[in-house]
Amino acid sequence: MAKYQFFCKPDSKQKSFTFVEMGSASFSAEKQQLLEMGFEVEEDVIYADSKEEAVDKFKSNFLAPLDDYTNSHPVTAVVTFIFETLKAIRGKK
């Protein structure tokens, strides 16, 4: 089973994404290039038998429960609310 790391453009809501197989010889160089292009590491790694399966898992947003868990605590929910509000305000200017 291969291990994939996904990268997203900020504020794209995971619609603009790409990924790299972490076991490839060029992983470090590819990751650095993506970061320089403005992509950000998205969530945790995904284990899959194929690239297609990795993309399906990523698109199914199977990592969303982690966000739900984080936001279930009042302190982290307030922090998330503040960050999202500030991002929305900056986006309107």
Cα–Cα separations (whole angstroms), residue 46 to 13, 88, 90: 18, 29, 32
Contact 39, 9 (CB under 8 A): yes
How many whole angstroms separate alpha carbon 4 and alpha carbon 55?
9
pTM assigned to the model: 0.63
Residue 7, H or E segment: strand 2-8
Given a cut of 70, the residues of the chain with pLDDT beneath it are 61-71, 92-93
| Nearest to 57, CA basis, from 67, 45, 66 | 45
Q: What is the pLDDT of residue 30?
A: 97
